[in-house]
């Protein structure tokens, strides 16, 4: 068992134009000491001691070595035979301090046996000698399909397209260079992205937006992950506090967590299942009725109609998967974007790196962003195309009592449209096509938030109201100036909790009481978390308002609870939870994790930020996950 | 009298064929180490039974008396709830008061309760359901289900026709706490943690009674309603 004890030290690397053939490396045990000797060429990264290692002594006149290697799971380093060992946030996530040639040989043998890439820096009196490298000498060929043209209107887009092409190819090449799987994400992204841009019904400006978003996400992912490696000296990182070794480990942790959820939802094929309902007769087949009129206790809802269309929950065959390729989201860190998703990218705030051990900056928040993407695709399938008046008229026709729906899919189209129409106009009895278009355009975002919150609560928080309320309100506390949005957050939170009470007599009132009780408890546990008192006061002061808002959104809640939710899929999400509970914080053993989400859930409960515990989590997520 | 908190109380609901005022029996036994105190919550009293010897198996404490605490709730003239830290103590107290052979227990329709809370959930959810399983001989005899809302799980509802539930724990949904466990034979259990927990028990028993799951005795109900409408469970 390897323990992360001994604190944080800092490595500082300096080169200068005045001495082009010379570079220096220093170690400090305090950041302020490193900063005191800063110059224009300084690069720095924290290193995290293993087994009580002191900062490597690099100033001595005797030859010593810094041996960087990675990406590896620290658990494989059980027996350390070095003068110091440290973890880093970089993709070269381990540094070994060697003071004898024998230790150097051991380090090389270790790196070779693990198929890791490595750099060996001989150091005498802080001066870095001739660097030796391993495992990355051979150029890795870029897959031909990544180098092909992107078919889309070219002229004004040309620089943006070229940027995307080169970024994709470079990122792919760098992933291969570091023995990371490039095909499942980058090749697939390239393929589906090219298909997307080739679509004739997509407007040029939308294509440009996709290209720009891709370039932003790829460039950030590229420098955050692969700077500070192959070679360290030649690839500085833009992030000044990690400018020496970058944050490849954090970046891979983010990617792995996103990939875990992506795989589950890919296999679940929710959009595919929904589309399949076009072949399923409406309910009841003889005399279909609007689903909005069916009470929650009707057996139709508890029969999980979306998952009944097949005998059981099955992963897609290779042929099916090939027919409906999925665009993987490109992940990156951004302090400005924070937790944010688009159809093609997913970001997390940089604060996660040193604070993901707490609910304030937990990576669990990512599930909300990933859910948004899924909900978008489902809403896109069911709601009318707002740029096409025929499509809106057809949907409106489905709402008429005299219209017989052709399939269950039609009934769900009518149900979701009706739910969105009614969420802010509960007493309106008729509507025109143009008004319907206006309502959907106005309220679809709010509906998306409600659907996302309920979905996230049911699948990713296991319908645990207590955990959910704590997680969302504590994480919202880190966002400045959202006091005017507290009321919206209260409504969304009520919707999530209400998914447990849909069948319950007086369920809306019970939901409001539950949230009030939970907020009061969280307020006691996190007195410094802003907005909580405001939410408690809101609920107490405007109880009738929130009961009305919740009633008006009950159909949306019902849609997620009884259409999109499957207990089989929820079980899939919880698989491997027992492994993460048996781990010991800040220690690495033989055990790997199979469920990164369960790991995040288990280990993000600290009240105080702890960089060491956060780095431990990121190491596990990046290198100790066997999905 | 200071009741230990929390006190995990277990006991039962009792009815009698004649008017038995348990507290007046307690008053008569004050010289035998039994005393009662009226609690702040309407209808509830605490009783303490002092003994020189242990009344239930427990480690003897040299030179020290044994004190056993009871919670008592009267509901009308012929119904009451009596609970202590061990069910056996309730029998001991009833014995000492000379009431053991004069009280019976009502029935609680647990099967109906579980079935209806599963199909039409209410302000209480079921956080534990214990059931017998018939039809598999000795190979499979019983099952227990735990969760915050057992009846909400489709799997439980699918299995329910094969189960004969005999004990259930009710959880107040909005307050998110377990309130009362009850069995078919009116054995009950709850955690005393102050006045609120007693009021919670009152509400849960009122719920059971109102919905027709707890039937004290049809011939006695009218009497109780006449006598103490606010304080009874009806």
Kindly determine whether residue B121 and residue A503, on different chains, have CB atoms separated by under 8 Å. yes
- Angle formed by the axes of helices A543-552 and A408-424, to 10°? 160
CB A111 within 8 A of CB A211: no
- Do the domain assignments include residue A236? no
- Do the domain assignments include residue A565? yes
Residues of A in contact with B148 (CB under 8 A): 463-464
- Does A574 contact B at CB distance below 8 Å? no
Q: List, for residues B83-121, the tens digit of each pLDDT value.
A: 999 999 999 999 998 888 888 999 999 999 999 999 999
Query: Are A270 and A171 part of one and the same domain?
Result: no
Q: What average pLDDT does range A324-328 have in this prediction?
A: 79
- Do the domain assignments include residue A584? no
Asked if the interface predicted TM-score (ipTM) of this complex is over 0.85, the answer is no
Q: Between chain A and chain B, how many beta carbons pairs sit less than 8 Å apart?
A: 44
CB B216 within 8 A of CB B40: no
Residues of B in contact with A504 (CB under 8 A): 121-123, 173
- In degrees and rounded to multiples of 5, residue A48 shows phi and psi of -115, 120
Kindly determine whether residue A514 and residue B157, on different chains, have CB atoms separated by under 8 Å. no
Kindly determine whether residue B121 and residue A501, on different chains, have CB atoms separated by under 8 Å. yes
Q: What average pLDDT does range A306-334 have in this prediction?
A: 70
Query: Are A42 and A105 part of one and the same domain?
Result: yes
pLDDT of A154: 61
pLDDT of A542: 97
Interface of A with B in 93-132 (CB under 8 A): none
Kindly determine whether residue B149 and residue A510, on different chains, have CB atoms separated by under 8 Å. no
Q: What average pLDDT does range A407-433 have in this prediction?
A: 92
- Does A504 contact B at CB distance below 8 Å? yes
- Do the domain assignments include residue A187? yes
Domain boundary among A186, A210, A229: A229
Which domain, by its residues, includes A364?
Answer: 257-572
Cα–Cα distance for residue pair A557/B125, rounded to 1 Å: 20
- Does B119 contact A at CB distance below 8 Å? yes
Kindly determine whether residue A517 and residue B174, on different chains, have CB atoms separated by under 8 Å. yes
Q: Closest Cα of chain A to B123: distance in Å? A: 7
pLDDT of A78: 76
Kindly determine whether residue B121 and residue A466, on different chains, have CB atoms separated by under 8 Å. no
3-state secondary structure of A479: coil
- Do the domain assignments include residue A289? yes
pLDDT of B134: 86
Q: List, for residues B137-154, the tens digit of each pLDDT value.
A: 888 999 999 999 999 998
Q: Which carries the bigger pLDDT value, residue A275 or residue A137?
A: A275
- Do the domain assignments include residue A199? yes
Q: 3-class secondary structure for chain B?
A: CCCCCCEEEEEEEEEECCCCCHHHHHHHCHHHCEEEEECCCCCEEEEEEEECCCCCCCCCCCCCCEEEEEEEEECCCCEEEEEECCHHHHHHHHHHCCCHHHEECCEECHHHHHHHHHHCCCCEEEEEEEEEECCCCCCCCEEEEECCCHHHCHHHHHHHHHEEEEEEEEEECCCCEEEEEEECCCEEEEEECCHHHHHHHHHHHHHHHHCCCEECCHHHHHHHHHHCCCCCCC
Residues of B in contact with A507 (CB under 8 A): 121
Q: List, for residues B11-59, the tens digit of each pLDDT value.
A: 999 988 777 678 888 888 777 889 899 999 999 999 999 998 888 887 7
Query: Are A125 and A273 part of one and the same domain?
Result: no
Interface of A with B in 330-389 (CB under 8 A): none
A578: which residues sit within 8 A by CB, 6+ positions away?
none
CB A23 within 8 A of CB A36: no
Query: Are A84 and A188 part of one and the same domain?
Result: no
Q: List, for residues A226-266, the tens digit of each pLDDT value.
A: 999 988 999 999 999 999 999 999 999 999 999 999 999 98
Q: How many CB atoms lie within 10 A of CB A476?
A: 20
Q: How sure is the predictor about A603, in pLDDT bands with cuts at 50, 70 and 90?
A: very high
pLDDT of B221: 36
Query: Are A274 and A323 part of one and the same domain?
Result: yes
Residues of B in contact with A510 (CB under 8 A): 123, 173-174
Considering CB atoms only, which of A297, A506, A517 is closest to B176? A517
Whether A304 has a pLDDT exceeding 90, the answer reads no
pLDDT of A318: 56
pTM reported for the whole predicted model: 0.88
- Does A503 contact B at CB distance below 8 Å? yes
- In degrees and rounded to multiples of 5, residue A279 shows phi and psi of -95, 0
Q: List, for residues A348-385, the tens digit of each pLDDT value.
A: 999 999 999 999 999 999 999 999 999 999 999 999 99
Query: Are A96 and A189 part of one and the same domain?
Result: no
Kindly determine whether residue A505 and residue B120, on different chains, have CB atoms separated by under 8 Å. yes
Kindly determine whether residue A567 and residue B176, on different chains, have CB atoms separated by under 8 Å. no
- In degrees and rounded to multiples of 5, residue A169 shows phi and psi of -65, -45
Residues of A in contact with B174 (CB under 8 A): 510-511, 513-514, 517
Domain boundary among A542, A572, A602: A572
**Number of structural domains in chain A:** 3
Query: Are A110 and A162 part of one and the same domain?
Result: no
CA distances B211 to A295, A572, B176, B190, B207, Å, are: 22, 38, 21, 20, 6
- Does A297 contact B at CB distance below 8 Å? yes
pLDDT of A565: 94
- Does B158 contact A at CB distance below 8 Å? no
pLDDT of A101: 95
CA distances A315 to A269, A319, A429, A604, B48, Å, are: 8, 11, 43, 30, 63
Q: Which residues of A594-605 are buried (b: 16+ CB within 10 A; e: fewer)?
A: bbbbbbbbbbbe
Query: Are A211 and A269 part of one and the same domain?
Result: no
Query: Are A360 and A464 part of one and the same domain?
Result: yes
pLDDT of A316: 52
Mutate which: B115, B117, B118, B121, vs A, most A CBs within 10 A: B121
Q: Is B131 left (phi over 0), alpha (psi -120 to 50) or beta?
A: beta
Q: Can you name the residues that pair with A67 across neighbouring β-strands?
A: A96, A120
Considering CB atoms only, which of B148, B155, B173 is closest to A510? B173
Q: Is B212 left (phi over 0), alpha (psi -120 to 50) or beta?
A: left
Considering CB atoms only, which of B121, B123, B176 is closest to A466? B176
Q: List, for residues B162-181, the tens digit of each pLDDT value.
A: 999 999 999 999 999 999 99
- Positive or negative, the Cα torsion across A465, A468, A472, A477? positive
Q: How many CB atoms lie within 10 A of CB A52?
A: 11
CA distances B18 to A500, B78, B221, Å, are: 45, 7, 13
Q: Closest Cα of chain A to B190: distance in Å? A: 21
Share of chain A above pLDDT 90, in %: 73
Query: Are A332 and A431 part of one and the same domain?
Result: yes
CB B203 within 8 A of CB B163: no
pLDDT of B222: 32
Eight-class DSSP state of A338: -
Query: Are A177 and A81 part of one and the same domain?
Result: no
Residues of B in contact with A302 (CB under 8 A): 154, 157
Mutate which: B118, B170, B174, B211, vs A, most A CBs within 10 A: B174
- Do the domain assignments include residue A608? no
- Does A304 contact B at CB distance below 8 Å? yes
């Amino acid at each position: 068992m390897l323990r992360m004890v001994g604190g944080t030290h800092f490595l500082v690397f300096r080169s200068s134009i005045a001495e082009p053939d010379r570079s220096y490396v220093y170690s400090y045990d305090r950041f302020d000491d490193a900063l005191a000797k800063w110059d224009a060429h300084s690069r720095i990264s924290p290193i995290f001691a293993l087994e009580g290692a002191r900062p490597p002594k690099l100033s001595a006149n005797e030859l010593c070595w810094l041996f960087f290697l990675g990406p590896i799971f620290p658990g494989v380093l059980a027996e350390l035979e070095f003068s110091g060992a440290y973890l880093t946030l970089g993709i070269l996530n381990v540094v070994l301090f060697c003071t004898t040639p024998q230790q150097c040989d051991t380090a090389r043998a270790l790196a070779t046996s693990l198929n890791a890439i490595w750099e060996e820096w001989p150091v005498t009196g802080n001066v870095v000698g001739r660097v030796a490298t391993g495992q990355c000498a051979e150029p890795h060929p870029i897959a031909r399909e990544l180098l092909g043209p992107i078919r889309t209107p070219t002229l004004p887009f040309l620089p943006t397209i070229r940027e995307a092409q080169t970024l994709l190819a470079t990122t792919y090449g760098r992933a291969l260079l570091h023995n990371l799987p490039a095909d499942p994400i980058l090749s697939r992204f390239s393929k589906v992205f090219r298909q997307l841009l080739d679509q004739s019904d997509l407007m040029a400006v939308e294509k440009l937006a996709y290209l720009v978003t891709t370039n932003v996400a790829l460039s950030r992912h590229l420098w955050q992950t692969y700077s500070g490696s192959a070679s360290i000296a030649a690839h500085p990182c833009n992030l000044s506090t990690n400018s020496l070794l970058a944050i490849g480990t954090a970046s891979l942790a983010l990617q792995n967590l996103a990939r875990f959820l992506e795989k589950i939802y890919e296999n679940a094929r929710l959009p595919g299942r929904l589309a399949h309902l076009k072949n399923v007769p409406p309910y009841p087949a003889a005399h279909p009725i609007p689903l909005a009129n069916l009470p929650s206790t009707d057996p139709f809802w508890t029969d999980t109609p979306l998952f009944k269309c097949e005998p059981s929950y099955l992963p897609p065959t290779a042929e099916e998967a090939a027919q409906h390729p999925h665009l993987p989201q490109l992940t990156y860190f951004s302090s400005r974007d924070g937790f944010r998703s688009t159809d093609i990218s997913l970001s997390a705030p940089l604060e996660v790196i040193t604070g993901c051990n707490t609910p304030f900056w937990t990576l669990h928040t990512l599930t909300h962003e990933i859910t948004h993407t899924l909900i978008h695709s489902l809403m896109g399938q069911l709601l009318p195309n707002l740029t096409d008046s025929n499509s809106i008229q057809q949907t409106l026709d489905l709402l008429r009592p005299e219209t017989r729906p052709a399939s269950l899919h039609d009934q769900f189209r009518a149900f979701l449209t009706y739910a969105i129409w009614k969420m802010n106009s509960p007493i309106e009895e008729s509507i025109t096509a143009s008004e319907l278009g206006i309502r959907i355009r106005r309220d679809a975002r709010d509906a998306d938030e409600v659907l996302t919150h309920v979905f996230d609560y049911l699948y990713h928080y296991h319908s645990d109201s207590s955990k959910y309320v704590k997680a969302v309100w504590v994480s919202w506390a880190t966002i400045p100036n959202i006091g005017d949005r507290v009321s919206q957050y209260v409504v969304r939170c009520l919707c999530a909790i209400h998914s447990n009470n849909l069948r319950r007599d007086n369920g809306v009132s019970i939901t409001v009481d539950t949230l009030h009780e939970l907020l009061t408890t969280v307020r006691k546990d996190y007195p410094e978390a802003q907005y909580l008192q405001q939410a408690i006061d809101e609920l107490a002061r405007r109880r009738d308002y929130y009961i009305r808002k919740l009633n008006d959104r009950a159909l949306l809640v019902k849609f997620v609870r009884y259409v999109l939710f499957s207990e089989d899929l929820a079980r899939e999400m919880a698989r491997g939870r027992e492994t993460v509970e048996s781990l010991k914080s800040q220690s690495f053993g033989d055990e790997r994790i199979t469920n990164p989400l369960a790991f995040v859930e288990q280990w993000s409960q600290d009240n105080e930020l702890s960089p060491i515990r956060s780095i431990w989590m990121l190491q596990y997520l990046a290198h100790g996950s066997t999905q | 009298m200071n009741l230990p908190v929390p006190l995990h109380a277990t006991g039962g609901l009792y009815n009698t064929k004649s008017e038995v005022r348990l507290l007046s029996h307690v008053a008569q036994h004050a010289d035998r180490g039994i005393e009662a105190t009226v609690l702040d919550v309407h209808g509830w009293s605490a009783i303490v039974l002092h003994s020189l010897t242990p009344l239930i198996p427990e480690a003897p404490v040299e030179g020290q008396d044994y004190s056993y605490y009871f919670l008592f709730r009267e509901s009308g003239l012929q119904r009451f709830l009596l609970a202590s830290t061990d069910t056996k103590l309730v029998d001991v107290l009833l014995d000492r008061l000379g009431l053991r052979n004069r009280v019976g227990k009502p029935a609680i329709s647990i099967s109906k309760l579980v079935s209806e809370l599963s199909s039409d959930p209410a302000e209480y959810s079921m956080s534990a359901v214990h059931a017998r399983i018939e039809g598999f001989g000795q190979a499979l005899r019983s099952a227990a289900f735990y969760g915050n809302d057992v009846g909400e799980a489709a799997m439980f509802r699918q299995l329910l026709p094969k189960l004969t539930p005999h004990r259930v724990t009710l959880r107040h949904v909005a307050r998110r706490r377990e309130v009362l466990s009850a069995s078919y034979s009116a054995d009950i259990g709850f955690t005393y943690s102050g006045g609120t927990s007693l009021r919670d028990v009152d509400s849960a028993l009122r719920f059971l009674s109102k919905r027709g799951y707890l039937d004290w005795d049809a011939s006695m109900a009218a009497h109780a309603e006449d006598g103490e409408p606010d304080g009874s469970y009806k």
